Structure 1
């Protein structure tokens, strides 16, 4: 279909292009857009600030953060958890005091019922011919008047402000003291963060000149250029960043850190979570969806 064919409105058929165009302009229906390369952060950018890291640290799951940004996040989350815990303790104390008041009021009611039952004890002899009639009359009167009182007590009056039912306060759940990673959702601690040391492509360049370049860092062993399309890994003892190809072909044979000479384990090799390119997802969903209301007939 040519460009002029898409804008043709004289056809008798409601084309797919016209339907898609009308759906986008109507405000109804779920919209789906494929993200480009500019919408995905680079592999050396912080997951919180989305800026190139100056003092990068990595979590055991492989997510890269700026040290200052992640520490501020941890402090903020701990402050929020402390506030929630304080509110929960306050609610707990209020519930405890209310239970004590209910128990004391119930004890008072029991005492009052006991007093009334003791006061109704009759010491005079009861006439068996008249006591039955009185009991029957009282039972009839009680049975006749009972539904009215029960119905009036059970049904509140919504039009009278004093009798309007009130909503009960929401009960707070006990908050978890663990701070979760904003990317993986797993518990994260400050002592688990690992300092990352990128190897610059040209050590003579300063930070500003290095950030202006598209190719900034290389592998610490093979000197291959790093990027979003190159799988990387961080070595825990030295914090060096190497390519996965170097890891599989060279380092895994001896399991020795080439920078510090320390022995490595599988736990010391952290795959670095990278962004994506415009062509492949690289573990990142490149399609954004916006759920909008559906037009119903």
Structure 2
């Protein structure tokens, strides 16, 4: 028996610690891990760069972005949509040309078949001054077989006739299999896209709508609202704000803002206030306390915040990785 209880191998019970340890070592089974505070971004950080925002903007769904990062993302997505649309139109044009070629080939085959049938019909005029036995058999009549009596009373003898060799073919040479076309040869048979069963991937028509990277909803540049955070200390520069745990406060009540504090953005002024201030003060008059503009429900944007490490924050902090399970 070993010294430590958690490494004991003589116990009759398969403990939770041993099961978790064996699962991590074997690579099988579903693993669960709880995210700590270090794995959650702050409420004032960009959802793309995960860094504190210098020029923040917010979407109608409450996701905060750096203006430069989200504009670069929108332009990149538009270029990607244009590239996909160009590839789709190119494939569509190739398919149209292929359909035209197939229709033209079908029409040519129909004409060729008609001409072949016409050429097989041969009518030869009969000479009334020649006896019937002397006339040559028509192309439709079968020649007499070996040993049959001819119309003159004698027996026919079959003499094999040698056909002239085809153009470019040496007499006496056997017709072997045609040589393989080098253009149709597979350079790498193990590549799935080059196998005989492989087919061209059919491209679907891409959507021209630019979507939000977080919510997946349509997003336009005009939907972005500038956000103005109220600093706790105006004398501290931006580098000093990064090192502080509490950087911003509510624009009305001066309460400190953090991931544990639900916040909202007022669209007319862009000020960030707490939801408690919105429920107790702003919703009574529906007036922006910063610039005095009239507010609507659409003008109050609830800011998406990160987790705090506690289960009561309302943010899912459980990460799960599903893997195959070995069963006896």
Alignment of 1:47-196 (within 5 A): 47-121=47-121, 165-196=196-227
SS at match of 1:289: strand
The corresponding residue for 2:23 is 23
- Secondary structure of the equivalent of 1:288? strand
Counterpart of 1:252 in structure 2 is: 283
More helix by share: 1
- Aligned-pair distance for 1:275? 0.3
Question: How many residues of Structure 1 are paired with residues of Structure 2 in the alignment?
Answer: 265
> Residue 4 of structure 1: CA displacement?
4.2
Query: In 2, Cα distance between the equivalents of 1:25 and 1:123?
Result: 90
1:227/1:100 Cα in 2 relative to 1: closer, same or farther (>3 Å)?
Answer: same
Equivalent-residue separation in structure 2 for 1:244 and 1:124 (angstroms): 105
User: Which structure 2 segments of 5+ residues have no match?
Assistant: 126-140, 143-183, 187-194
Q: What secondary structure does 2:311 align onto?
A: coil
Alignment partners' CA distance in 2, 1:275 and 1:281: 12
Superposition TM-score, scaled by structure 1 size: 0.82
In 2, are the aligned partners of 1:274 and 1:282 still within 8 Å (CA)? no
**Length-normalised TM-score, structure 2:** 0.75
Question: How far did 1:203 drift?
Answer: 1.3
Q: Which has the larger radius of gyration?
A: 2
User: Alignment partner for residue 324 of structure 2, among 290, 293, 297?
Assistant: 293
Cα RMSD (Å)? 2.5
CA deviations over 1:77-113 (Å, ceiling 9, x no partner): 1111111111111101111111111111111111112
For the residue of structure 2 that corresponds to 1:61, the secondary structure is coil
